[in-house]
Amino acid sequence: MPTAYIVDAVRTAGGRRGGRLAGVHPVDLLASSLDAIVERSGIDPKAVDDVVTGCVTQAGEQAMQVGRMGVLASKKLPQSTPAVTIDRQCGSSQQAIQFAAQAVMSGTQDVVIASGVESMTRVPMGTNATFHMKEGLGHYKSPGLEEKYPGVQFSQFMGAEMIAKKHDFSKDMLDQFSLESHQKAIAATEVGAFDNEIVPIRIETPEGEEMHTIDEGIRFDATLEGIAGVKLLAPDGRVTAASASQICDGSSAVLVVSEEALKAHGLTPLARIHNLTVTAGDPVIMLEEPLFATDRALERAGMKIEDIDLYEVNEAFAPVPMAWLKHTGADPEKLNVHGGAIALGHPLGASGTKLMTTLVHALKRHGKKYGLQTMCEGGGVANVTIVESL
The pLDDT value given to residue 34? 98
Residuewise pLDDT in 10s, the chain (390 residues)? 799 999 999 999 999 999 999 999 999 999 999 999 999 999 999 999 999 999 999 999 999 999 999 999 999 999 999 999 999 999 999 999 999 999 999 999 999 999 999 999 999 999 999 999 999 999 999 999 999 999 998 999 999 999 999 999 999 999 999 999 999 999 999 999 999 999 999 999 888 999 999 999 999 999 999 999 999 999 999 999 999 999 999 999 999 999 999 999 999 999 999 999 999 999 999 999 999 999 999 999 999 999 999 999 999 999 999 999 999 999 999 999 999 999 999 999 999 999 999 999 999 999 999 999 999 999 999 999 999 999
Q: How far is CA 166 from the centre of its chain?
A: 25
CA distances from 194 to 12, 139, 213, 266 (A): 10, 41, 9, 26
The pLDDT value given to residue 153? 87
State whether residue 318 is helix, strand or coil: coil
The pLDDT value given to residue 374? 98
State whether residue 350 is helix, strand or coil: helix
Whole-angstrom Cα distance, residue 70 to residue 29? 8
Whole-angstrom Cα distance, residue 211 to residue 381? 36
User: Which class for 119: exposed (0-12), middle (13-18), buried (19 or more C-beta within 10 A)?
Assistant: buried
pLDDT tens digits, one per residue of 139-176 = 999 999 999 999 998 999 999 999 999 999 999 999 99
User: Angle between the 351-366 and 92-106 helix axes, to the nearest 10 degrees?
Assistant: 70
The pLDDT value given to residue 1? 79
Nearest CA to 253 among 98, 38, 17? Answer: 38
**What's the 3-state SS for 126-192?**
CHHHHHHHHCCCCCCCCHHHHHHCCCCCCCHHHHHHHHHHHCCCCHHHHHHHHHHHHHHHHHHHHCC
Residue 171 φ/ψ, nearest 5 degrees: -60, -40
Whole-angstrom Cα distance, residue 235 to residue 264? 60
State whether residue 96 is helix, strand or coil: helix
Would you name the residues annotated as active-site residues? Answer: 90, 346, 376
pTM over cut 0.95 = yes
The pLDDT value given to residue 110? 98
**What's the 3-state SS for 41-61?**
HCCCHHHCCEEEEECCCCCHH
User: Which class for 208: exposed (0-12), middle (13-18), buried (19 or more C-beta within 10 A)?
Assistant: exposed
pLDDT tens digits, one per residue of 296-336 = 999 999 999 999 999 999 999 999 999 999 999 999 999 99
Q: What is the dihedral of CA 206, 196, 274, 377, to 10 degrees?
A: -20
The pLDDT value given to residue 3? 97
